[in-house]
Structure 1
Amino acid sequence: MSRRSTRRRDGLSLSETLPDRGLFALVAMVGFLAALTLAGACGARALSARWAGGAAQLVVIQVPQPDQPARQASGGVQAPGEQSRADAVQAALVSLPAGSIVHRLSAQELGNLLEPWLGSGLKGQTATSPSAMPLPAVLRVELPDSTLPPATLEQDLSAVAPGVIVERNSLWSTRLHALANSLLACAGLALLSVCGVATLITGLTTRAGLASRRDVITTLHGLGASDGYIAGRFARRTASLAFGGGLTGTVLACVPLFALLQITAPFTAEADGVPATATQNSLTGQDAFLGSMPSDLLIGLGCLPLAAALICWLTTQLIVRLWLRRLP
C-alpha cells in the first residue's frame, strides 16, 4: 500500500528509477571531503593571521659582550658613569615608533630558551659566575600594529655597540602569508574539484533515470507535459537526495574536526594567554564543539548541504531540459 501511495505522489516513479542509495552515499562522501577541505582552509587562514601578524611586529636584538663599556676606555676599564653596551643599545631604541615595548631577557629566560640545546646548566648563572658562558644580551621589541622599525636601525645601533645583530621577522611573516595563500588556493581547487565530482555524479544519475523512464516521459511529454514539469520532478528528487547526503557527510566530518580542535586548542590558548589545561577542560562541556569552532567555519559547514542541493538541482534541470529538446 505504501509503495502505491509513493507512486501516486511521484508520477514518474523516480523513487524506483533513480539510484537513491548510490546518489545519497556518493554525495555524503563528497560532502565529507568538502567539509574537511573547508576546515583546512579556515584553519590555515586563522593560523596565518594569528602567527604571521604577531611575527611581523616582533624585532629581536642581540648585543654581544653586553657588560663591556659602550666606549672602550684605556686599559679596558669602564669609566665612571659610562654605559654598558646593552644599556647603550636599549637607550638608543628611543627612535622606535611610539608605543613600542622593549624587554630585555633575563638570565633565567635565556637559560629557558637554551635548555633544549645546552641543558639546564645555564639556569641561574650570572655574568660574574666563574664558569659562566658568555651570552649576548637579547632585547625583545614589540612594535605597534601596522608599524615598521627604522630602516637604519641596525646601522644606528652598531654605531653605539659594534656587532649588534637585529633580526626582523617581517620576512618570515611574508613567507607565512605566501604559504597561507598557497594553502587557500589549494583548498579552493579542491573545493572546485569536489563540486565537479558532485556535478558529474548527478549528471550520470539523471541520465540513468531518463534512460530507464524514457517511454513514460515520452508519453507524458506527448500528452502536453511541459519541460519545466518533468525537469522539476527530477530536480526536486535529486536535490532532496543531495541535501540529505550533504548533511550526513557534514555531520560525519564533525567527528574528526572535533578531535583536531582538541589537539590544536593548547596552541591557540597559549597564543591568547589562556592556560592550555583550562582550555582543554572547557572543550569537554556540552557546547564545546560549537563554541570552539570559528564562526566562518560554522557558516561554511551549514551552507554545504544547501550548496550540494543547489548543484544537483541546477545540473538535473539542465540535463533534463537538454534531453527533452532532443525528443522528436
Structure 2
Amino acid sequence: MARRARYARDPLGLRRALSDRLLPGLVAAMALLAALALAGSRGAEALKDRWQAGAAAAVTVQLPPEQAVQMDQALAVLRAMPEVQSAEAVSAARMKELLRPWLGEVPALPLPAVIELRLVNAAIDPAPLANRLSETVPGAELEAHGIWVSRLAALASSVQGVALAVLALVAGVAVAVVAVATRAGIAARREAIEIFHDLGATQRDIAGRFARRIGLLAAGGALAGAALAVPALAALSSMAAPFAGGEVMPWTALPWLDLALLPPFAGIIGWATAQYSVRHWLRRLP
C-alpha cells in the first residue's frame, strides 16, 4: 500500500533520479557566491554615495604646530569667505582618533592644527581660497579632497561592475548546472518517461513534475547557501566598518532582502530551466 502511494505521488521515480544532495549542494555554493557578489555591489554603492556626499565638498586647512596660536584668526578669515559654508577646528583628541587606525596609538608629538571646511559647492576651485588665507595666515595649507573622492568613486563603481558581472556569471552557471542535472534525470528515467508519455501524459505534466522537483531542490540549496553567507557577510561588514565611518552594525548592515530573495529566484531558475529542457527533449519523441 505504501509503495503504491509513493508511486502515485512520484510515478516517474524522480526522487531516485534527481539526487537531493548533489544539486542542492551545487546550488548552495552558487548562492553563497551570489550573496557575496550582491553584498559587494551594495557595499560599493553605499561607500561611493557616502564618499561623494560627505567628502566631495570637504576641505582641510593645516597650520604648523608653531602657528596653532593663529587658529582663531584663520577661522575668522575662513568664515568670512562666501564660498565657505562652515569652518570648524578639529580637536587634538579627534585627530588622534582619526590617525589611530593608520598609525596605532599616536605618540605624544606636536600635531598640526587642522580646520575642517565645508564648501557651499563642491565645484568651487579651492586655489583662490588658499591664496587669500595664506595672505592673512602665512604657512597655512589648504587641501581639497575632491580629486581623491572622484578616484575612489570610480574605483567603487568598478568594484560594483565586477560584482554584477560575477552575479550574472553565477546565474549562467546555475542554469547550466540545472540543465545538466535535468538531462541526467531524463537519462536515468528515460524508459519510465517514454511509457508515461505513451500512456497519454502530456508534455506539461511530465515537464511540470521535473520542474517542481528541481525547483524545490534549487530553492532548498539556495536557502542553505544564503544561511552560510550570513556569518561571512557579518565578518566582512565588521572589517569594512572603519571605511564607513565606524557606524556600521554587522547584523543590521547585511542585505537581508537580497538574501531572502535568493531561494525563490533559484527556485524560479531551476523550474524554468527544467521546463525548457524536458519539453525540448519530449518534442523529439516519436
> TM-score w.r.t. structure 2 length?
0.83
Q: Secondary structure at the match of 2:80?
A: helix
Q: How far apart in 2 are the matches of 1:253 and 1:271?
A: 22
Distance in 1 (alpha carbons) for counterparts of 2:165 and 2:131:
46
Q: Which residue is 1:94 aligned to?
A: 80
Answer yes or no: is 1:255 the counterpart of 2:231. Answer: yes
Q: In 1, distance between residues paired with 2:276 and 2:14?
A: 17
Query: Is the alpha carbon distance of 1:157 and 1:240 closer, same or farther for their aligned partners in structure 2, counting shifts above 3 Å?
Result: same
Q: Distance in 2 between matches of 1:216 and 1:317?
A: 18
Partner of 1:42: 42
Deviates more, 1:172-181 or 1:210-219: 210-219
Tell me if 1:199 matches 2:175: yes
> 1:299 deviation in Å?
0.7
The reply to whether residue 293 of structure 1 matches residue 218 of structure 2 is: no
C-alpha spacing 1:3/1:58, structure 2 compared with 1 (3 Å): farther
Matching of residue 120 in structure 1 with residue 125 in structure 2: no
Larger Rg: 1
What is the percentage of aligned positions where both structures have the same residue? 39
Deviations 1:78-107 (A, max 9, x none): xxxxxx697267415423446x22123467
Secondary structure in 1 matching 2:21: helix
Deviations 1:181-237 (A, max 9, x none): 111111111111111121111011100111122222223323332211111111111
CA RMSD of aligned residues (A): 3.2
Deviation at 1:11, TM superposition (A): 1.8
Give the CA deviation at 1:119. Answer: 3.3
Relative to structure 1, the CA distance from residue 57 to residue 222 in structure 2 (aligned partners, 3 Å threshold; closer, same or farther) is same
Give distance in 2, aligned partners of 1:261 and 1:312. 31
1:188 maps to which of 158, 164, 168: 164
Could you tell me how far apart the structure 2 residues matched to 1:248 and 1:190 are?
A: 20
User: 2:55 matched to 1:55?
Assistant: yes
Pair 35,111 (structure 1): closer, same or farther in 2 beyond 3 Å: closer
Compute the displacement of 1:53 (Å).
Answer: 2.6
Q: In structure 2, what residue type is equivalent to 1:293?
A: A
Q: Deviations over 1:50-99 (max 9, x none)?
A: 3443221210123567489xxxxxxxxxxxxxxx697267415423446x
1:312 is aligned to 270
Question: Structure 1 length as normaliser, TM-score?
Answer: 0.73
| Whole-angstrom CA distance in 1 between matches of 2:167 and 2:99 | 44
- The alignment partner of 1:95 has SS state of coil
Report the Cα offset of residue 305 of structure 1: 0.5
Cα separation, 2, equivalents of 1:269 and 1:190: 28
AA of the residue aligned to 2:14: L
CA distance in 2 between partners of 1:265 and 1:93 (Å): 33
Query: Any gaps of 5 or more consecutive residues in structure 2?
Result: none
3-state SS, counterpart of residue 120 of structure 1: coil
Q: Report if aligned partners of 2:79, 2:86 keep a CA contact under 8 Å in 1.
A: no
The AA in structure 2 aligned to 1:246 is A
Q: Matches of 2:68 and 2:26 in 1, distance apart?
A: 70
Q: Is the 8 A contact 2:59 2:142 kept in 1?
A: yes
Of the candidates 267, 279, 284, which is equivalent to residue 321 of structure 1? Answer: 279
Indicate how the Cα distance of structure 1 residues 9 and 305 shifts in structure 2: closer, same or farther if over 3 A, else same.
Answer: same
Gaps of 5+ in 1: 69-83, 124-134, 273-278, 284-288
Aligned residues: 281
In the alignment, residue 73 of structure 2 is paired with which amino acid? D
User: For 1:168-247, what aligned pairs fall within 5 Å after superposition?
Assistant: 168-247=144-223
State whether structure 2 residue 2 is matched by structure 1 residue 14.
Answer: no
Aligned to 1:130: none
